[in-house]
Structures are given as structure tokens and as C-alpha cells.
A = this chain, B = another copy of it.
Amino acid sequence: MSDIKLGFVGLGIMGRPMAINLLKAGYRVWIHARRAESMTAVADAGGTPCDSPAAVAAQAEIIFTMVSDTGDVEHVITGDNGILEGAHPNSIVVDMSTISPSATRALAARLAARDLHMLDAPVSGGDKGARDGTLSIMVGGKADIFERVRPLFEIMGKNIVHIGDHGAGQVTKACNQVAIAQTIVAVGEALLLAKASGVDPARVRQALLGGFANSRVLEVHGQRMLDGDYEPGFKANLHKKDMRIVLETANELGIALPGAAVATQWLNALVGTGNGELDSAALSLLQQQMCDVKLH
């Protein structure tokens, strides 16, 4: 199995530990990052630096991409010196970034026209999950291609689900962010209402954990709010970006997601007030500020 030659493009806070985990598992990995210094740690772990995504693709049969946004993925795949310029027929491009579902489908079609396969495989679990190899991975694309890549996903993650055809992974990630953003707003308001009413929000959280209001957000982000500890976790910058993709998708589809739209405004304001590097649970700070209530 470890005869397969792998590529990894994008070695930021997420991509770097993911590529290193593949190397540790015994695979050969050709790597590229926009900034040369991002390659150092992965090269030290045994990765082979390349000048461009095209150069990575010329070596590898399965090429992972882990960059920031829709345009970045399009650039590393279809841009100058992009993957399309170097890839051999039947290679597989696995995009693990979180980007637009519709752009993903368009990319998959362009790749297919060149006899290349694609999977969209966005993740959740943050850089901690990337380091520990415990990411949740939501995958779209053909089932047989998914099966070929599955052993590699299992090195990087724990909860790996093939959802459906091209774009289905990105759609699932979008749904995930819709649910989480609004639940953060909801938990923030619940704790705010408690404190403003003179009731200990920690006791309220504890009572609510025992019933229908129970959620991972109440458990983890609720505790962050009580502690005033917004060490990410998942950065507001990224959650804001993901919600932009959600609302672009709602726009394309012509569907109304009013709850997601309102939650997005909180994230916009959080980033706009210079707090984009905090965990997205920090939108509670804005709720508290607006009402002159302190949770901790």
C-alpha cells in the first residue's frame, strides 16, 4: 500500500500535520506550499519539496489539497503550474479544504474531462484533530474512488463518511457550520439571559446539559463562554469564511436560511472588531457587550 506516491499541496496549520501523519505512516509524499518556509517542517519529516502544484502532480498518484478558500483551490488545480498541468491520467485529486459545493462540482467536471478523479473531503476537528489524526472527514465523489483513498483518510481522521456524489462533502460541511453557528448564538443568548436575570449561568448550563437543550456546543463552547477562554478551537475567521460559502450557496439555490444569515452577521462583527483569531464561540463577547452583561 505504501508504494502509492502521494502529493500534498497547502501546508498551513491544518495541512502540515496531516502531511506529516501520512509520512509517519510510511508513505512517500511530494509537497508544495506557496511560502517555501511552510515546507520546512514537512520536509524535515521526509517530504519532498516541489516548486509547484504541477511538479507535485507529476510525481504523485493521489494529490491532496488543503488551502483556504474556493479561489485558492481553483488556483492550485487549474492555475499556472497547477495540478492539471502536471497530473497523469487516472490520478486522484482530494480537496480537503472547505470551499463552495458548486465550484467543487465544476472542478470535478474539469478534472474528469482530463481523465482525472476528484473527491471533496472537507474536515472538522481543527488543528488539534489534524495533529492527533482524529479529524471528521465528509466525502463527496465516486464510491470506488472513495474506497481507494479511504486507508489514507483513516490515517488523518476517525469519523470518515462517504456522503454522496461530487460536492456532497462540501454540502455536509456547510450544513455542519449552519448548525454550529446558530447553536453558538443560541447558547450565548441562553447564558446571557441567565446572568442578566441574576441566575448563575454555570448552574443553568449544568441543568440544561441533562435535557433536550444538550449539545456539544453547550458542553464545549458554553464552558468557553463561562471561562472567557476563546483560545481556538475553530477560528472565527474561518467560521466567517465558511458561512460566506453557506450564504453564497443559499443564493445560488434560491433558498432562505434566515437563522444562518443572522448568525453570520455575528461572525462578521466578531472578525470586524479584530477578533478573527479567537474561537468563533467568542461571538458571545459581542452579545455580552451589547447587553452590558459579563458572563465571567
Chain A residues packing against B (C-beta within 8 Å): 101, 124-125, 136, 138, 159, 161, 163-164, 167-168, 171-172, 174-176, 178-183, 185-187, 189-194, 196-200, 203-204, 206-208, 210-218, 220, 234, 246, 249-250, 253-260, 262-263, 287, 290-291, 293
- Residues A159 and B260 in contact in the complex (CB < 8 Å), given A190-B179, A197-B101: no
* Contacting pair B204 A171 (CB below 8 A): yes
| Contact partners of A217 in chain B: CB under 8 A | 212-213, 215
Whether A249 lies near B207 (C-beta < 8 A) is: no
Partner of A204, one of B175, B181, B220: B175
- Judge whether B214 and A249 touch: CB under 8 Å: no
Contacts of A171 in B (CB 8 A): 193-194, 197, 199, 204
Are B212 and A193 in touch, CB under 8 angstroms? no
The answer to whether B215 and A216 have CB atoms under 8 Å apart is: yes
How many whole Å from A106's CB to the nearest CB in chain B?
14
Assuming A183-B213, A206-B161, is B190 touching A255 (CB within 8 A)?
A: no
Whether A175 contacts B193 by the Cβ 8 Å rule is yes
Given contacts A172-B194, A189-B260, contact A179 B208 (CB under 8 A): yes
